[in-house]
Amino acid sequence: MKPRDRLRIAMQKSGRLTEPALELLKRCGLTFRQSRDKLFCFGEGEPVDLLLVRDDDIPGLIAQGVCELGIVGRNVLDEFRLTAGRESEPLAELRPLGFGRCRLSIAVPQEFDYREPSQLSGQRIATSYPGLLGAWLRERGVEAGVVTLAGSVEIAPKLGTADAICDLVQSGGTLVANQLREADVLLESEAVLAGPQSLPADERGDLVELLLKRLDGVIQVRESRLLLLQAPRAALEAVTRLLPGGPQPTLLPVAGQPDQLMLQALCAGEVSWRQLEEIKKAGAREMFVLPVEKMLA
């Protein structure tokens, strides 16, 4: 097999997305031989290799055809789509991945009484996301100065180089430490699988399809729970009505107890203690909530 018959996935070498991305790929059945201090990891089972790079470089590497897929924050992908030249290969968000959640937000000094975007007119806003911020301001007809900084955006107001900032926020702790508060949200972000808008028409395209199917299974499984319980036939309707997400349960007879049934249901999402207690009140007993290991629909 020629080297470029193999699929390449770029991901962050070291940072917030590294561990969850590797874990996700592992769950998709991909394992890699090289140690992680190298840039390149050779895939063992499937012909899929890894490139470990800075997250900011990932969209560019896909656009240049150095790799076919990348795991990167929506914030980085969308910024690239807005700022890349028109000649650059258009990129697509193939799947949201459910980790690395954060928001790209406007934050203002505590004493700034922010109510609406128009108050930002004539102000200087520091950001590492000039593309996303510029588009957001334009859509709202706000003319503000955009000060582009590579990092440490949150100290710009204190230094007097900006009046407000536009930066990533997760808990808001960094903002509080800098006497800032979140005023408006531009983008809800999470890690995504990014790829070219048109996939290669060779084996690599088929590998992407295969990977997407496995990924869908992994994501669905991660959010699924198998609920098992016993209930008297008479309570069946009441119990079924309380099942989270309203799945259609499978019913099985219980040996030696003709008026009892065992019920099995695949629920989308967490089943809480409170829901279990409600279901128990409706007549159920012997209840189990099990994680789902693998699923192929």
Amino acid sitting at position 237:
E
Structure tokens that stand for 181 in this block: 């508060």
Is the separation of the CB atoms in 257 and 213 below 8 Å? no
Q: Are strands 124-127 and 145-148 parallel, antiparallel or unpaired?
A: parallel
CB of 129 to Zn ion, least distance (A): 11
50 binds ligand ATP (CB under 6 A): no
Residue whose token pair is 């199917």: 213
**Binder among 16, 18, 34, 56 for Zn ion (CB under 5 A):** 56
Nearer to ligand ATP, 149 or 262 (CB): 149
Structure tokens that stand for 266 in this block: 């695949």
**Binder among 110, 170, 198, 272 for ligand ATP (CB under 6 A):** 170
156 binds ligand ATP (CB under 6 A): no
CB of 3 to ligand ATP, least distance (A): 25
Is the separation of the CB atoms in 7 and 66 below 8 Å? no
Return the range that interacts with ligand ATP (CB under 6 A); candidates 15-23, 132-140, 197-205, 244-252. Answer: 15-23
Sketch the per residue contact string, 56 through 95, with ligand ATP: x for CB under 6 A, - otherwise.
Answer: x----------------x-xx-------------------
| 3-class DSSP state of 127 | strand
Count residues near Zn ion (CB under 5 A): 2
79 binds Zn ion (CB under 5 A): no
Structure tokens that stand for 173 in this block: 């702790």
Cβ partners under 8 Å of residue 1, min gap 6:
47
How far apart CA 287 and CA 285 sit, in angstroms, is: 5
Helix (H) or strand (E) segment spanning residue 236: helix 236-241
Residue nearest to ligand ATP (CB): 73
Q: Give me the residues that bind Zn ion (CB under 5 A), please.
A: 55-56
Q: Give me the residues that bind ligand ATP (CB under 6 A), please.
A: 12, 15-17, 54-56, 73, 75-76, 100, 102, 168, 170, 189
